[in-house]
């Protein structure tokens, strides 16, 4: 029932789309937060399966956002494991304009950043294993430790791509649909281009 209700609201909003050519609109660029997403892209699909099937104490998706700029899209997933280990997964993609409302997304690479650990928050039953893992890591050659410190990069060029359309775009809300019709709803995290320009205008002082 919740999904039906949300989809009804999405359809109602799409009918009011104020942007005729969203793929070339300046409002498209910026940082967006995922409020609702379907199973459109392989990255989002994998994240959804993982975190819907894992207990919150084991794995938790804290936030999912996307930065669109200069024909590129960078999706960042903020992850938390065991309520004590924080990490980020970055998915980089190239965007190509296919029409007034249609874009092609080609995945370039994925990057799993080195986790940061809060030792105070580690459950007692895991502290011994954590100590052993830390000790083992310190014994590795410096080159291997440096590789861990810089994160793990997975090349994805030529592996995944998809077409999607923008069904709604304004200064605050972005709605996209994949080839199966699944909708993603995003809200802007940074000021829109029009807002930045307005804020930069210096007006005369009025007492």
DSSP state of 160: -
Inter-residue contact 78 to 55 (CB < 8 Å): no
3-25 residue pLDDT tens:
889 889 999 999 999 999 999 99
Q: Which helix (H) or strand (E) holds 48?
A: helix 42-53
Write down the pTM of the prediction. 0.73
What spatial distance separates the first Cα and last Cα of the chain, rounded to whole Å? 54
3-class SS of residue 175: strand
Judged by DSSP in three states, 26 sits in helix
What digits encode the pLDDT tens for the residues 108-147? 988 887 777 665 555 565 556 555 555 555 555 555 455 5
């Amino acid at each position: 029932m919740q999904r039906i209700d949300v989809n009804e609201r999405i359809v109602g909003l799409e009918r009011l789309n104020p942007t005729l050519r969203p793929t070339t609109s300046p409002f498209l660029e910026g940082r967006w937060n995922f409020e609702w997403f379907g199973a459109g892209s392989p990255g989002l699909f994998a994240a959804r399966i993982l975190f819907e099937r894992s207990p919150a104490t084991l794995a938790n998706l804290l936030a999912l956002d996307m930065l669109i700029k200069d024909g590129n899209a960078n999706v960042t997933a903020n992850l938390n494991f065991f309520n004590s280990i924080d990490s980020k997964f970055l998915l980089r993609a190239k965007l190509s304009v296919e029409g007034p409302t249609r874009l092609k997304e080609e995945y370039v690479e994925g990057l799993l950043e080195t986790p940061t650990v809060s030792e105070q928050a580690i459950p007692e039953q895991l502290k011994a294993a954590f100590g052993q893992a830390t000790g083992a890591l310190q014994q590795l050659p410096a080159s291997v430790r440096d590789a861990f410190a810089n994160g793990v990069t997975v090349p994805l060029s030529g592996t995944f791509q998809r077409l999607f359309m923008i069904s709604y775009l304004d200064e605050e809300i972005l709605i996209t649909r994949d080839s199966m019709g699944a909708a993603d709803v995003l809200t802007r995290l940074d000021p829109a281009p029009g807002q930045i320009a307005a804020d930069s205008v210096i007006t005369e002082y009025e007492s």
